[in-house]
Chain A
Amino acid sequence: MHYFPFLVVAWILAVGLYGIVTSRHLVHQIVCLIVVQSSTYVLLLGVGYVTGGVAPYFYDVPVHTPAVDPVVQALALTDVVVEAAVTALLLAFAIQAHKRFGTLDPQELAELKG
């Protein structure tokens, strides 16, 4: 019994959060948010893993072969779609923030009180 993949999750999450907190550029901050969200992929796939299990595709293996949990994999797919949507919207907001305030530094933007 070991927990290494879950520790990787914590590490990715922490690195991403640190990046968001200390970021000096909105696009960098958005990339950090993507890093944070990546930790959820590792967590989902890690939770559903079965030692020795095959991928849940039974095209060339018999149906009763031990396989990993497909539910969390479907959830990871949803996760990716939501991330793409969120990233696109945030980048659009970053463009408008730069047009309006002439800066992409979150700390300067906070002072502007736009």
Chain B
Amino acid sequence: MNPAARRWVFLIAGAGLVAFYLWGLTGLPGFGNYPGPYGFIINQVAVGQTKATAVVSAINFEYRGFDTVGEEFILFVAAAGVSVVLRHLRGERERSALDEAKDRDAPPTSEAVRTLALVLIGPVVILGWYLASHAQTSPSGGFQGGVVLATAFVLIYLSGQFLVFKRVSPVAITEAVEAAGAAGFACVGLSAVLMGLPYLTNDLGLGTTPGAIDSSGTIALISFFVGLEVAAAFVLIVGELLEQTLLIRQEGR
């Protein structure tokens, strides 16, 4: 199909989609008129039941914790999938990350970028850990904190060289951390089963003060493991993609 025909087919289909969407909107209660009741009920009971002041974290790691196990393993499988898709194929060899042209060197990273990246690494690590460890208190959690932590490794790449990035995040260790994070979450759930309770029952002490660092039992613990898993998964994925651009070349290219 040529591009013009393709565009016409899309425009006709798109017009149909818009018509159905607008028709569907007339049945919605309108922006700002959320009808409930689940959101309202959970807002009322979550703080008392879990001692977590962050209701979104309470939902993610407690009320629908089982779904979040699956969600975490989606990321786990994606990281594994990227590794498999980008494995070394026959006819590929590694080449150092130098410029392709023989007659000139790769331009060095500018001092401004290096300095800014180095300055940011510390604060980014602290922010990442803060987010991953305060799921029960404030808008944060393992998923957000893990991504921020992974950013610290990308900053190392920006500030120095790819080889330094590989040295501070060896694939074997990163994979082990990722597996530990994923297994930690699953095992927190299994620990309840061992005590004869349903999977992922919050079997740790909930603490007394809602939102305190030692409150909410397994919510904070699960968030910590999710943080490990997400950070390691993103470092793996970014490392695999960078390796493709910088190290691996096909024979004869």
Q: Which residues of A contact B (CB under 8 A)?
A: 1-7, 10, 14, 17-18, 21-22, 46-51, 55-59, 63-64, 67-74, 77-78, 80-82, 84-86, 88-89, 91-93, 95-96, 99, 107
Residue contact B85 to A93, C-beta cutoff 8 Å: yes
Residue contact B78 to A88, C-beta cutoff 8 Å: yes
Assembled-state Cα–Cα distance A51/B79 (Å) = 40
Q: Contacts of B78 on A, CB cut-off 8 Å?
A: 84-86, 88-89
Residue contact A5 to B31, C-beta cutoff 8 Å: yes
| CB within 8 Å of A: which B71-86 residues | 71, 74-75, 77-79, 81-82, 85-86
Q: How far is the CB of A92 from chain B (nearest CB, A)?
A: 4
Assembled-state Cα–Cα distance A110/B38 (Å) = 46
Q: Enumerate 13 A-B pairs (CB-CB under 8 Å) in ascending A order.
A: A6-B31, A49-B34, A56-B56, A58-B210, A59-B137, A63-B43, A77-B60, A86-B78, A88-B82, A88-B237, A92-B85, A93-B85, A99-B92
Q: Which of the residues A56, A84, A96 comes within 8 Å of B43, measured between beta carbons?
A: A56
Nearest-neighbor residue (CB-CB) of B37 within chain A: A69
Give the number of A-B contacts (CB < 8 Å): 153
**Besides the contacts A49-B34, A58-B47, A82-B71, what 10 more A-B pairs have beta carbons closer than 8 Å?**
A6-B28, A14-B17, A56-B55, A67-B43, A67-B55, A70-B43, A71-B59, A72-B39, A85-B78, A89-B82
Assembled-state Cα–Cα distance A1/B25 (Å) = 12
Residue contact A49 to B82, C-beta cutoff 8 Å: no
Nearest-neighbor residue (CB-CB) of B74 within chain A: A85
B contact residues, range: 35 or more
Residue picked from A10, A55, A69, most chain B C-beta under 10 Å: A69
Q: Which residues of B contact A (CB under 8 A)?
A: 3, 6-7, 10, 14, 17-18, 21-22, 25, 28-34, 36, 38-40, 42-44, 46-48, 53-56, 58-60, 64, 67-68, 71, 74-75, 77-79, 81-82, 85-86, 89, 92, 137-139, 141, 143, 147, 210-211, 230, 234, 237, 240-241, 244, 250
Residue contact B56 to A2, C-beta cutoff 8 Å: no
Q: Contacts of A3 on B, CB cut-off 8 Å?
A: 25, 28, 30-31
Q: Contacts of B77 on A, CB cut-off 8 Å?
A: 85
Residue contact B53 to A59, C-beta cutoff 8 Å: yes
Residue contact B55 to A47, C-beta cutoff 8 Å: no
Q: How far is the CB of B13 from chain A (nearest CB, A)?
A: 9
Residue contact A69 to B34, C-beta cutoff 8 Å: yes
Q: Contacts of B143 on A, CB cut-off 8 Å?
A: 77, 80-81
Assembled-state Cα–Cα distance A58/B48 (Å) = 11
Residue picked from A4, A21, A107, most chain B C-beta under 10 Å: A21
